[in-house]
Amino acid sequence: MPTPTRSPARPQPARRSPARRPPAGRRKSGWTARVVTTLSVVLLASAGIGHTVITSLDEGIGRVDPFGDMKDRPAAGHGMNVLLVGTDGRDRITKKERRRFRLGGAPCHCTDTIMIVHLSADRQRATVVSLPRDSYAQVPTHTGRTAGPRHDTHPIRLNAAYAEGGPNLTVRTIEKMTRLKVDHYLEIDFIGFMKTVDLLGGVRVCTAQPLKDRYTGLNLSPGTHLLGGGQALQYVRSRHVDGASDLGRMQRQHKFLAALIDRATSSGVLLNPLKLRQVTRAALGSVRADPGFGTEQLLDLGRAMRNFSPRSSEFTTVPIGDMTYEVKGLGSTVKWDDAKARALFASLREDKPLAPPRPKHKAPATVPVDVDPGQIRVQVENGTGTKGLGRRVDDGLAATGFRTTRQPVDAADRVARRTVVVYDPRWDRSAKALAAALPGSELRATPGHGPTLKVIAGTDFKEVQRVGTAPPPATPGPQPSVVTGDEVVCP
């Protein structure tokens, strides 16, 4: 018969993913913050308020032509595809800002963050697909960024396409890899991110584990935090808080995007023309875009997306087949799972959602615990004068998986006001799991009590909370999950 699980020895720190060798100066780059802010503005700007709010905003947008002289492009699909890239340029960052937010290091003049944003034809859904910057790629034949000899196709890391051939080569390379036609191009470096977040009054994020990165200075304890602009910048840049490296960072970017959309749609910003104009100006102030992306496009999106919400957005990362794909002359790269990547991009071309349909009836929330309830044996006692209370508690614990005796008894003392979990300290993790199923209960350590835990039901008992062991942490694999925005914002 299984018995409750003993507390293990102190766990060893998780091993980091095998290091990859990025170009010099790239480790501390990271204008991911600008990408996620500008994306939210693209999705939310104007929101049906009218032309007076965002007229002339495109005057502050720098222009670049990424589509010049492009031939043999993929056929257009349904909906709109926007390529967002965050470069590591930092010419306009002051020395004080570099020191305060740890933005040092020499830029590699490459793309630090790459996202494809697909807006459905009915403008009711946005799909964000992150492409790892170290993705293995074959660049097409091209000339350099300045006039010079032509270069034959050759292998690179995806983020190096910008350094070799600028926006044009970046678009050509991504269209070749995805077979998606890019309709618009947005390029962002850091300048207004912190101001944008501050204008929104901060963005709320939550974490179950401490997040600490000595490279960016991020230091968040478990719980919910309202991040101002500086902390938000650290949150979306950090790569060294766990062993997942860039994949973990992309997941945090998705969570931040969902939280930013939630903040903007729930804070009244979209109903305040002056505030919306301030936020939009701050977000678009350091953007370069193709000539076809301007005020009218923002208005069209806004009118079509008046009811946009976190649930309308879905986030994923291109499926990965090999996180350490060795390439001669490059070292370790990230190799996509070709078959699954083709299926993902085919869904975007066909304008299909990636997230599975929602069940009509939402299952009860399950609180994650360290020990499987099926390993925990429990004896229930009724500590009150309420007839049948012991049976209710026993039935509730059994329903969520605990191995109750199915024979509740009356306690010797029938005046308990508070529910108590009595346990042997050797089985403290099991006791904590049991207490989680009984909100408000008191833990009472009793040396020598033995492996069977005891619950003394008090008059404060209301219901049993469903608990279960949490799924294992996400690890690099061939098929990343798809989440919608409302699934990753704080409860």
Backbone torsions φ then ψ of 139, nearest 5 degrees: -75, 145
- CA dist., res. 16 & res. 209, Å (int): 16
Q: Does one domain contain both 314 and 431? A: no
- List pLDDT tens digits, range 207-243: 888 888 888 888 899 889 999 887 887 888 787 776 6
Q: Kindly give the pairing relationship between strand 377-382 and strand 409-410.
A: parallel
Which one is predicted more confidently, 121 or 25?
Answer: 121
Assign residue 324 the CATH number of its domain: 3.40.630.190
Averaged pLDDT for residues 298-314: 64
Mean pLDDT of 322-337: 93
Residue 394 belongs to a domain? yes
Mark whether 412 and 321 lie in a shared domain: no
Total domains in the fold of the chain: 2
HEC secondary structure over the chain:
CCCCCCCCCCCCCCCCCCCCCCCCCCCCCCCHHHHHHHHHHHHHCCCCCCHHHHCCHHHHCEECCCCCCCCCCCCCCCCEEEEEEEECCCCCCCHHHHHHCCCCCCCCCCEEEEEEEEECCCCCCEEEEECCCCEEEEECCEECCCCCCEECCEEEECCHHHHHHHHHHHHHHHHHHHCCCCCEEEEECCCCHHHHHHHCCCEEEEECCCEEECCCCEEECCEEEEECHHHHHHHHHCCCCCCCHHHHHHHHHHHHHHHHHHHHHHCCHHHCHHHHHHHHHHHHCCEEECCCCCHHHHHHHHHHCCCCCHHHEEEEECCEEEEEEEECCCEEEEEECHHHHHHHHHHHHCCCCCCCCCCCCCCCCCEEECCCHHHCEEEEEECCCCCCHHHHHHHHHHHCCCEECCCCEECCCCCCCCCEEEECHHHHHHHHHHHHCCCCCEEEECCCCCCCEEEEECCCCCCCCCEEECCCCCCCCCCCCCEEHHHHCCC
**Is there a domain that residue 171 lies in?**
yes
Answer yes or no: do 154 and 300 share one domain: yes
pTM (2 d.p.): 0.64
Whether 25 maps to a domain, the answer reads no
**Do both 111 and 222 map to the same domain?**
yes
Q: What is the pLDDT of residue 257?
A: 79
Give 185's strand partners. 83
| pLDDT at residue 258, rounded to an integer | 79
Residue written as token pair 């100066």:
25
> By CB neighbour count within 10 A (0-12 exposed, 13-18 middle, 19+ buried), where does 357 fall?
exposed
What CATH number is attached to the domain comprising 391? Answer: 3.30.70
Spatial CB neighbours of 406, under 8 Å, sequence gap ≥ 6: 394, 398
Q: Residues 83-111: pLDDT tens digits?
A: 988 765 555 556 776 666 565 555 545 56
pLDDT over threshold 50, residue 313: yes
Q: How many Cβ atoms are within 10 Å of 324's Cβ, its own excluded?
A: 15
pLDDT exceeds cutoff 60 at 421:
yes
pLDDT at 11 over 50: no
- Report the mean per-residue pLDDT for the chain: 79
Residue with the bigger pLDDT between 136 and 315: it is 136
Query: In terms of domains, do 161 and 302 share one?
Result: yes
**pLDDT tops 90 at residue 444:** yes
In a domain, 265, yes or no: yes
Per the model's pLDDT, the better-predicted residue between 305 and 265 turns out to be 265
22 is a domain residue: no
Q: Which of 111-125, 276-290, 408-422 has the lowest mean pLDDT?
A: 276-290
The pLDDT of residue 356 is 77
Most confident of 125-134, 231-240, 262-271, 362-371: 125-134
More confident site: 87 or 42: 87
The reply to whether 314 and 398 lie within a common domain is no
Do 236 and 376 share a domain, yes or no?
no
The strand pair at 320-327 and 203-207 is best described as: unpaired
The pLDDT score that the predictor gives to residue 12 is: 39
| Mean predicted confidence (pLDDT) in 300-326 | 77
Residue scoring higher pLDDT (178 or 188): 178
Position with higher pLDDT, 223 vs 182: 182
Output the pLDDT for position 304. 52
Do 303 and 161 share a structural domain?
yes
Residue 204 forms part of a structural domain:
yes
Shared-domain flag, residues 422 and 439: yes
Same domain, 375 and 343: no
**Which of 23-37, 158-172, 425-439 shows the highest mean pLDDT?**
425-439
d(CA 340, CA 337): 6
Tokens 């020990």, located at residue = 371
Q: 152 with 243, same domain?
A: yes
Which pLDDT value is given to residue 217?
84
Is-contact 117 42, C-beta < 8 A?
A: yes
| Distance from C-alpha of 394 to C-alpha of 448, rounded to nearest angstrom | 23
Tell me, what's the pLDDT at 53? 55
Rounded to a whole number, what is the distance in angstroms from the first to the last CA of the chain?
38
How far is Cα 240 from Cα 6, in angstroms, rounded to an integer?
A: 31
Residue closest to 84 by CA, chosen among 130, 148, 136? 130
pLDDT over 80 (residue 446): yes
* Domain extent at residue 178: 32-361+474-488
Please tell me the predicted confidence (pLDDT) of residue 24.
Answer: 36
Residue 21 lies inside a defined structural domain of this protein: no
Are 383 and 330 in a shared domain? Answer: no
Residue 413 within any structural domain of the chain: yes
Query: What mean pLDDT do residues 35-64 have?
Result: 58
